[in-house]
Amino acid sequence: MFAAWDDRTQQHPQETPMNASTHALVAVAATSGLVDLFERQQQAARREVDVPLALRRERLQRLTAMWRHNEGRLAQAVGQDFGLRGERLTQVADALVLDSVLADLRRNLARWSRPRRVRTPLHLLPARAFVQRQPLGVVGVISPWNYPLQLALGPSATALAAGNRVLLKPSEHTPHTAQLLAELVAQHFAPEEFAVVTGGVDVATAFSALPFDHLFFTGSTTVGRQVAEAAARNLTPVTLELGGKSPCIVDASCSDLDGAALKIAVGKLLNGGQTCIAPDYLLLPRGREAAFADAYQKAVTRLFPQLVGNADYAAIINARQHQRLQALVDEARALGARVDDVGPPALGTPASEAEARQMRPLLVFDLPPQARLLHEEIFGPVLPVLPYDDLGTVIAYINARPRPLALYWFGQDEAARDRVLQGTVSGGVTVNDMLMHIAHDGLPFGGVGESGLGAYHGETGFLRFTHEKAVFVQSRFGRGDLLYPPFGARFDRVMGLIRRWLR
């Protein structure tokens, strides 16, 4: 099914984590052991429905300690998988977001976990009501290759904090990272609590077909559809964090084109452009193309004085992805588009296969409508530039396409900004900067339409992995009997009084 996969016993705090004997279970889980591992978690979740706050905190502390003590090793594994991606890049791209998620969970866990009182309407008094927050049970997390630490451990940490058991399936395109995560989790958690399964398409297919209480997937829209289809057979609710064509608008009121170009270059070129919320195309006032190209080239050179061998500039993850990107650019050229290399002067030739995958930053102008660069998610350092004449055209262009995961706007005209915010629908927006809405713990992060289903981060994420159970407690003074049959004059009087209150 997933032909294009990822194209992209009661537990207590004092229990002994998974030992050497259970390493075999993780390895076997790639085949028949996967179902056994899931069933162990499911049985444990059904035995221990109420997971005490102390146990949730302890699991979160264990995960935090695992992360802090092994961050360097994990960053090295990520570097191995990319072939060329520096540890500092992983610090800003993965570690910073994950540190923020873990701190937010530790800070707010007690408040988010407690029951929430609900006001009781007058006609139901003197009863009382509250919402009880409970774990869903077993949560499956399928994580992608582009940010293989924060997009694996962030959702997993949130699900654990909510009291769930977690099975994590990392991407097969980052095998060193996946294997190290499996080993570390096995050392810090019992298999009934949290476990990692590794493997390729066969494992991914079997994983998504398990009857999880919730399935969380991050990846491409194409595979997201397949995951949702597999989950639907079990009526498993899903969160789908996908991608799509995220626009960046430079408004006519943008007076600092150099500053905007620098921020756009940061957002576009982070991780070699392999970011789900990177700007996928730029909408620019007609006549400013040359000025923007000059500003963007200066920004790129400032950020990356050289490209070849520069660990700050990630290689494209593998040869297949690199070939896909090159094919998109070649097609654009063949259709008459102008492709500008805006990278710094080349200082030497690639000395390795990974250095050869450090694709140079490109701006593309005069693209015809049929070009695949305008229809497929790019996921690389290529930025199409589309000139526009008026803001209405911009809004119409965005709305004629699937709803994007992110939208970016640069300018000083608040009325124009609000017109875009009110006239378009996207997963999230950053104004006068790039990517920053994902860094704010208080903001929900997720897509809409083809860019995703459901959101997480902060309390939104905690509730994504939580069942909010409605509880109504009747008072011994309650008079619900006044509405019991047989119906007659007394019923009419009581019903009339209640309806007058309600109206």
Residue 173 to residue 81: CA distance in whole angstroms:
7
| More reliable by pLDDT, 346 or 293 | 293
Question: Which runs of E-coded beta strand occur in 136-193?
Answer: 138-142, 165-169
Residue 134 to residue 239: CA distance in whole angstroms:
18
Q: Fill in the DSSP letter of residue 110.
A: H
Torsion of CA 22, 24, 26, 32, to 10 degrees: -120
Q: Please, which pLDDT band fits residue 356 given cuts at 50, 70 and 90?
A: very high
pLDDT for position 500: 87
Q: Please, which pLDDT band fits residue 26 given cuts at 50, 70 and 90?
A: very low
DSSP, collapsed to helix, strand or coil, labels residue 351 as: coil
| More reliable by pLDDT, 20 or 428 | 428
Q: Which of 71, 192, 193, 241 is catalytic?
A: 241
CB-CB contact of 340 with 379 (8 Å): no
Q: Residue type at 77?
A: A
- Is residue 19 pLDDT above 50, yes or no? no
Q: Please, which pLDDT band fits residue 32 given cuts at 50, 70 and 90?
A: low
pLDDT for position 28: 39
- What's the sign of the alpha-carbon dihedral 405, 313, 151, 233? positive
Tokens of 205: 């297919």
Average pLDDT of the residues in 438-447: 94
Q: Residues of the chain with pLDDT > 90: what percent?
A: 87
Average pLDDT of the residues in 38-51: 96
The Cβ of residue 310 has, within 10 Å, a number of other Cβ atoms equal to 18
pLDDT for position 7: 45
- Is residue 14 pLDDT above 80, yes or no? no
Residue 58 exposed, middle or buried by CB count within 10 Å (0-12, 13-18, 19+): middle
Q: Give the pTM.
A: 0.91
Element (H, E) at 208: helix 201-208
Tokens of 138: 């077993």
Q: Tens digits of per-residue pLDDT, 241-279?
A: 999 999 999 999 999 999 999 999 999 999 999 999 999
Question: Which runs of E-coded beta strand occur in 156-290?
Answer: 165-169, 194-196, 214-218, 238-241, 247-250, 281-285
Lowest mean pLDDT among 98-112, 242-256, 336-350: 336-350
pLDDT for position 480: 86
How does strand 128-135 pair with strand 382-388? unpaired
- Is residue 414 pLDDT above 90, yes or no? yes
- Is residue 27 pLDDT above 70, yes or no? no
Q: Tens digits of per-residue pLDDT, 194-244?
A: 999 999 999 999 999 999 999 999 999 999 999 999 999 999 999 999 999
Residue 381 to residue 144: CA distance in whole angstroms:
19
CB-CB contact of 102 with 64 (8 Å): yes
Tokens of 433: 């900067």
Q: Find, among 216, 165, 130, the residue nearest to 468 by Cα.
A: 130
Element (H, E) at 452: strand 452-453
202: Cβ–Cβ under 8 A, 6 or more apart, which residues?
30, 31
CA 420 to chain centre: 24
Q: Residue type at 315?
A: A
CB-CB contact of 147 with 492 (8 Å): no
The strand pairing partners of 247, in sequence order, are 281
Per CATH, which fold does 20-242+456-467 belong to?
Answer: Aldehyde Dehydrogenase; Chain A, domain 1 (3.40.605)
**Helix, strand, coil distribution of the chain in percent, nearest 5:** 45, 15, 35
Average pLDDT of the residues in 377-401: 97
Q: Tens digits of per-residue pLDDT, 283-317?
A: 999 999 999 999 999 999 999 999 999 999 999 99
pLDDT for position 436: 96
pLDDT for position 261: 98
pLDDT for position 76: 97
Tokens of 81: 């998988």
- Is residue 374 pLDDT above 60, yes or no? yes
CB-CB contact of 173 with 200 (8 Å): no
DSSP, collapsed to helix, strand or coil, labels residue 9 as: coil
Torsion of CA 378, 384, 390, 394, to 10 degrees: -10
153: Cβ–Cβ under 8 A, 6 or more apart, which residues?
63, 67, 98, 181
Residue 376 to residue 371: CA distance in whole angstroms:
9
pLDDT for position 4: 36
CB-CB contact of 176 with 10 (8 Å): no
Q: Tens digits of per-residue pLDDT, 459-502?
A: 999 999 999 999 999 999 988 888 889 998 988 898 898 888 88
State the first-to-last Cα distance of the chain, in angstroms, to the nearest integer: 54
| Rounded to 5°, angle at Cα 44 from 43 and 46 | 65
Residue 419 exposed, middle or buried by CB count within 10 Å (0-12, 13-18, 19+): middle
241 tagged catalytic? yes
- Choosing among 3.40.309.10, 1.10.600.10, 1.10.3720.10, 3.40.1030.10, the CATH entry for 247-446 is 3.40.309.10
Report the chain's mean pLDDT, rounded to a whole number.
92
CA 303 to chain centre: 26
pLDDT for position 20: 38
CB-CB contact of 195 with 189 (8 Å): yes
Residue 224 to residue 205: CA distance in whole angstroms:
12
Q: Where in the chain is the domain with CATH 3.40.309.10?
A: 247-446
Give whole-number Cα distances, 72 to 76, 330, 357, 428, in Å: 6, 38, 24, 31
